Amino acid sequence: MEKEIYDYLSKYIHVTKELEEELGKIDFIKRFRKGTMLLEEGKTSNECYFIIKGCVRDFYLKDGEEKTTEFYTEEQAVVPSAYGKNAASEYYIECLEDVIAGVGTPQLETEIYQKFPQVESLNRALGDAIMAKFQDTLAEFKMTSPEERYLNLIKTRPDLLQRVPQHQIASFLGITPESLSRIRKRIIKAK
């Protein structure tokens, strides 16, 4: 399973044999069963995740209703906003499928950064990319209609439609399941 991580890292930095061997010594690949809560509201988070296989979502509870804010799949990093800050989380992170992930901690990051500074540069670049994606997602959410958001989801992440329950897709789009059903019928009818 480490191969997937090395392949991903290779897209951004030169992965030396030394780095590969060092990462191979660390037991950071974990398996989680579908339904596992990686983080719960009110708990502190000292772990981040790199999804090798599977699907994860984060969601808030508002007035007893789940509000999905993101889905993470292969080659995506899940970094809770309170990661390493010893602060309570305001949301949940749940495995929607069986998941295999690389699990990082602040201590592990520090050790790797000291030995391999290029990994710290990589993490900064990835952090910038995550922030840019977040800004784009927020702008899209504010600037588009629910139907446009659904069409964009079909275009950019079609796999989610097969992997995620429709009520969670609807929540992610900021609409009710009934509204999503109407949108889907309109799109089918228009074809």
Q: Element (H or E) spanning 14, and its range?
A: none
CA distances from 38 to 32, 48, 59, 91, 94 (A): 9, 9, 12, 11, 6
Are residues 86 and 178 part of one domain?
Answer: no
pLDDT of residue 82: 87
Q: Is 157 exposed, middle or buried (0-12, 13-18, 19+ CB in 10 A)?
A: middle
Give the Cα separation of 157 and 149 in Å (integer): 11
Name the domain boundary from 139, 159, 174.
Answer: 139
Same structural domain for residues 121 and 175? no
pLDDT of residue 2: 64
One domain, residues 40 and 68 = yes
- Are 100 and 154 contained in the same domain? no
pLDDT at 44: 93
The predicted structure's pLDDT at residue 25: 80
Full residue range of the structural domain in which residue 68 is found = 2-139
Same domain, 123 and 159: no
The answer to whether residue 4 scores a pLDDT higher than 80 is no
48, 106 Cβ separation under 8 angstroms: no
Split into its structural domains, the chain has a count of 2
CA distance 119 to 125: 10
**23 and 113 housed in the same domain:** yes
Q: Do 91 and 149 have their domain in common?
A: no
d(C-alpha 96, C-alpha 85), whole Å: 26
Do 60 and 115 share a structural domain?
yes
Spatial CB neighbours of 157, under 8 Å, sequence gap ≥ 6:
71, 73
The CATH code of the domain that includes 49 is 2.60.120.10
Q: CA torsion angle for 100, 133, 141, 73 (degrees, to 10)?
A: -10
pLDDT single digits (tens) 110-145 = 888 888 888 887 788 778 888 888 898 889 889 999
Name the 3-class secondary structure at 95.
strand
Structure tokens at 1: 């399973």
Mean pLDDT of 12-40: 87
Asked whether residue 104 carries a pLDDT value surpassing 70, the answer given is: yes
pLDDT at 62 over 80: yes
